[in-house]
Amino acid sequence: MSKIKALINPVTPFAQNAPVVYCENTKECAFVDPGGDTDTLMQIAHENELIPAKILLTHGHADHAGGATQLSNTLDIPIIGPHEEDLFLLQSLEEQGRMFGMEASNCMPQQWLKDGDEVILGEALLSVFHCPGHTPGHIIFFNKDSKLAIVGDVLFKGSIGRTDLPRGNHADLLASIQTKLWPLGNDVIFISGHGPVSTFGQERLDNAFVADSVIQD
């Protein structure tokens, strides 16, 4: 199987990372969490001679999914993910957008994803893990060959996702991180929904919320 690469592009007033991930061998690409600024994302794909194939969503918040419908309609590519538990959020994207002063369109994916599913991107394989907590239907994508995870708002460098939003659950979030992310390996690099990249090993050392020393205490 092929490795994947990612071009990280902050979008929306929330500076949400919207990586364009692509198969090294075929240049087929997926837009992950296109919350907005879809013209910019399409231009990045064009400049890098990538072949748009699909849109992947980690969860249903407007800064991650608000531009998915527009991008799907423009490029005629499917929206895949998140888990069906986030349907209530995807159906309220326009309302979320109005609340936060950003454009967003309601969204209906062509395919829901669940724990254990796999997404093919060119010759690359993305494994799907259901990681509830920030939202009930949050998922993450993992490419074993590249040791790269795209984790949305589950985990950040030095922090973790909020759980004070509708149907957030702090205990579920901690369980998702410990039982789904950590077993993937300390050397895994992750792209989060906001902020810089890090590794799971680094977060286990010094993340104030989920470091091993914090959890053990």
Best CA proximity match to 149, nearest among 157, 98, 91, 106: 157
Best CA proximity match to 130, nearest among 64, 176, 62: 176
Q: Does the pLDDT value for residue 45 go beyond 70?
A: yes
Dmax of the chain from CA atoms?
Answer: 51
Domain of residue 35, residue span? 4-216
Residues above pLDDT 90, as percent of the chain: 94
- Is 4:21 a contact under the CB 8 Å cutoff? yes
Per the prediction, the chain carries an average pLDDT of 96
What are 11's two structure tokens? 């979008």
Q: Does the pLDDT value for residue 199 go beyond 70?
A: yes
User: Given this model, what pLDDT does residue 216 score?
Assistant: 72
Q: What's the total number of domains in the chain?
A: 1
Considering only 12-16, 72-76, 143-147, which range has the smallest mean pLDDT? 12-16
Q: What is the CATH number of the domain that holds 86?
A: 3.60.15.10
Instruction: Please name the residues in contact with 150: beta carbons below 8 A apart, sequence gap of 6 or more.
Output: 6, 19, 21, 32, 56, 58, 140, 141, 142, 190, 191
User: Given this model, what pLDDT does residue 134 score?
Assistant: 98
Distance of alpha carbon 43 from alpha carbon 56, whole angstroms: 18
Distance of alpha carbon 37 from alpha carbon 157, whole angstroms: 24
Q: Does the pLDDT value for residue 66 go beyond 70?
A: yes
- Is 104:91 a contact under the CB 8 Å cutoff? no
- Is 45:76 a contact under the CB 8 Å cutoff? no
Best CA proximity match to 82, nearest among 113, 110, 125, 107: 113
Q: What is the pLDDT of residues 3-25, one digit of tens each?
A: 999 999 899 988 999 999 999 99
Task: Tell me the residue length of the chain.
Answer: 217
